[in-house]
Amino acid sequence: MRAERQDLDRTSPVTIWKEYDMIGDKKVRAMVIIFRTRGCWWARKGGCTMCGYNVESLDDITKEDLISQIEKASKRYEGEEMVKVYTSGSFLDDNEFPPEVRDLLFITFAGTERILFETRPEFVTEKTLASIPKDRCYVALGLETCDDKVRARCIKKGFTKEDYQRAAGLLKINCVPVRTYLILKPPFLTEKQAMNDVICSVEFAAPYSDSISINPLNIQAGTPVEEVWRRGDLRPPWLWSLVEVLKRCRSMTDVRIMSAPSGGGTPRGVHNCGICDRKILDAIERFSFSQHLEDLNGLECPCKAKWSAEVHLQGAMRTSVDISKHIEDGPEL
């Protein structure tokens, strides 16, 4: 689903907000900019099963539109140490974000320590890296999983782990830090399979990464995953699963492990019973900055027993459906 409405402002970013992030071991202020672009080229071929970000893109966005967006974003800049640039696809895709516009962005935010941006691995080349200020960039790669079958069949990402290794390796050679994105609970995996998948993926990605962001599945409008979720054939992951994964992964590697869930505590995002969600999300945020396992210890709620039972039951039944939803919505006996 792509935006065709004329009421979308092509000369302004989709949104801008302020938050905190990490540069090395230092907690810093960050400004986040979501640019409206032509969209991800892969989405035009069908795209990823869970991604709905292309809904904010417009086919006829021009260089002048992007320049105007940069100018407006610059007025919101207040000396943040990090600027995070997100598009509907890849910042290094010349057709989505032309080189001369990238140059302007780097000049505009010359005062910031790091500019973080996302890109698909196919756009990480010697040529594109030669055109960016490597000492100020931080590149995010969406590996999602180290399992090529899961990435191809469940996510439909359109590249292999070898593509990721090549891109991440090239970035490392050029001394550009890498943030790897992994997904917790792609569609069609059980809760247990999803946890094991992330743990294996962290082990795989750690040598290539300066930080690893574990992103729990959230249900975005207009996506194939939303259809599966509406049928009750999928439940976003439990917060208990995310806590367990963060604990185990932190014990495996010195690479920073972090998570900032989108839609956390809502039916479309990672959630528990609704009573303990805020407490656990706050603990996850503290851990993401501190890396101290103590921040995740001592979390308890009666719903933890239900989570444990569902993890076991899904495995026994060999199904990834939302068991609770089917029981609650099923016919009376």
Amino acid at 306: K
- For strand 15-23 and strand 26-34, is the pairing parallel, antiparallel, or unpaired? antiparallel
The DSSP bridge partners found for residue 141 are: 180
Instruction: Give the closest residue to 264 by CA, choosing from 244, 290, 238, 225.
Output: 238
42-93 pLDDT, tens digit per residue, is 777 777 888 867 777 888 899 999 999 999 999 999 999 999 999 989 999 9
The DSSP bridge partners found for residue 140 are: 118, 179
Angle of helix 63-74 relative to helix 99-108, nearest 10 degrees, comes to 10
Separation between Cα atoms, residue 92 and residue 133, nearest integer Å: 13
> Is the predicted pLDDT of residue 6 greater than 70, yes or no?
no
305 versus 39: which is more confidently predicted? 305
Give pLDDT, residue 1: 44
130-174 pLDDT, tens digit per residue, is 999 999 999 999 999 999 999 999 998 999 999 999 999 999 999
Give the least confident one: 132-136, 156-160, 236-240, 280-284: 156-160
* HSE-up (13 A, CA, CB side) for residue 73: 32
At the second CATH level, the architecture of 15-329 is Alpha-Beta Barrel (3.20)
**How buried is 145 (Cβ within 10 angstroms: 0-12 exposed, 13-18 middle, 19+ buried)?**
buried
Give pLDDT, residue 248: 97
Amino acid at 117: F
Give pLDDT, residue 120: 96
Separation between Cα atoms, residue 210 and residue 213, nearest integer Å: 10
* HSE-up (13 A, CA, CB side) for residue 309: 7
Cα 324 to Cα 18, 144, 232, 310, 311: the distances in Å are 37, 27, 9, 8, 11
Q: What is the chain's mean pLDDT, rounded?
A: 92
Give pLDDT, residue 3: 47
Separation between Cα atoms, residue 166 and residue 28, nearest integer Å: 30
Stretch 12-27: mean pLDDT: 97
Quick check: helix, strand or coil at residue 253? Answer: coil
